[in-house]
Structure 1
C-alpha cells in the first residue's frame, strides 16, 4: 500500500491551512484495507478531498485517504444504476451522468468533494438530497475485515446525517456508492434560484443553472480558501418558529413536518450583523454568510473561534443554536460536538 511520512495536508484541505500528519495511507484495494486494521488503535482520520474538513492545528492525526476509482453503469427497465468508486470526484460524476443522459443528479452539481464523502454527509442542494437516489453503499468494516453492501435503509439517512456519522463512524471505509437514477424524470426547480426555469427544462439546463447560481453565491476555494457552507440550517420546533416569526415576519423557513421547521442559517448570521466581518486573518464571506473564508493569514483555530462567536451571537439574538456542517479535526482525530457548546 502506498503511504508517505510527514505529509503536508495544506493542499488536501480547501481552507488551505497547514497541517502535517506523521503518515498518510492511500488504500486502493481490499488487501490494502486489511493492512489498516492495526492502525485503528491510534488517532486517525479518513479524508476525502478535504472540502469539508477543518484542521485545527499544525499537527494532524494519521490520515487514511482512500483511492478507490472507477465508474460503471447498469441499465434496468425503469432506471440506470450508476456505481462509482469512493475517490471519484463528485461534480465530475454529476457531469458525466448529465452528459450521458442519466438524470437525477443535476441539482447537486458543483458540490465539492469525493463520491465516498457524499453519503456520509448526505449532501444536498436546491431541493434534492443524495438519499433521494442512493441504491446502496459498499462499506469495508475494520473489525471483521469484511466488505458489506448497505441498503438505503441501512444507511439511516437524515438531514446532513447518516449512520456513517454515528454508529459506523471510524469503524470502516466506504469503497463504492451505487445510485439509482429513474428514467421517469421531472425537473426539480421549486427552489429559489431555479424557479426561473420552465417546467420543461432539461437536465442539462437545470445543471447549468445550478452551476450559475452556486458560482454567483459561493467563493471559489482556489481564490478564497473555504469549505462551503460551514453551518447546517437549524431545524426548530413549530412552536419556536411561530414565536420567532412574530418578531421577524420575513424570516425564511421551510416546513419539514407538522412539528419541525428548517431555518436559513445564513439569514440568521446576516441578521446578527456578521456578514463580511474579518478577524485574525479569517472572516465571513461578504456574499454568503454561511461561508467562512481564510483570507490568507488565518489558522484553523481562528476559523473555529470565529464560528463559536457566530454561534453565540446568533443564539443571543434568536435563541437558536448553530451546528457545524464542516468536520473539525484535531491532532486526536475528529471532534464531535453538539454545536459549539462546551
Structure 2
C-alpha cells in the first residue's frame, strides 16, 4: 500500500503500526517545512520497516507515476499542512499542500488505480465554531472558522465528487486533537510538557478555557488498521463514507495543563494571552459510527495518555533535539 505523509506525526505511527502487522508499506514524504529535522528523525526510526520515496504529492505527474508503478490496493493519504494558526500566515502553502495534494491523489487513483481504496485524513476543524454537544458526521459543516478547516472540507467535497463520478471507494477520517509520542511540538501536549520539564513559560490562551477532544494516537492506528484489514465491513454500497476518530470527551486546556503538571511533578510558569483568530472554543466527537461499523472503542483517558507522553518525552533526546533545532 501507499502512505503519503509518512514522516509526519500520524503518518509515522500508521506506517509503523501497519508494518508491524506484516503489511508492505511504501511511504511518501517530501520532508519539507515545518519540523523538517523532526520528520527526518521519525523517518530514521522507520527506516527498517517501510520502503520510502522522497517526493511531493502536489506534483500531479510525479504522483501519477508513483501510483502507476505501485498499482496499490490501498492508498492512505495523510500528507497535509496541519494546524489552524499557521494557515493565517501561509494561506497559499496550505491551499497547495492540502487542496492540490488531495486532488493529485484522487486523479492518480482515477487514472491508474480505479479499483483501489483511499483512506484520507480530514479534521474536526470542519465542524466550525460550536459550544456544546457531540459532533456527529451528519452535522452541517458549511461554516469553517479557518482556512485550514476550509481546505479539509474541500478535500471531503472533492472526494464526494470523485466517488459519485468515478465510483472511487473512499473513507475520510475526521481526526480530532490527536496527541502521543513523536507528536507535533506546536501542539498543546508537547509544548506544555516541554515547557514544564525545562522551566520555560507555557502559553495559555484565554486562560485555558477552550475545550478539546484529545484523541490518543493509538486510537487512530486502530481505526486505520481496522479499515485496511476489514474492507467489507461497514457500508460497501456507499463509495464515500466519513468517520469521526475521537476520544469522545471534552477536556479544557487548563485541565490538560494540570494533568501535565502532575505527570511532570512540577508546576508550570504560565503566560496568558488572548485566543488567536481561527481557534475554536470547543470540540467533542461522537465515535458511534466508527464503533458500529468497525468495532473500535476509543479511549477518553487523557490523564493516562498524558502520563505515557511525558514518560516518552523524558527519554526521547533525538526527538527533543530535532524539535529544538527547527
TM tier relative to shorter chain? under 0.3
Bigger Rg, which one: 1
Higher helix share: 2
Higher strand share: 1
TM-score (norm 1): 0.25
TM-score (norm 2): 0.26
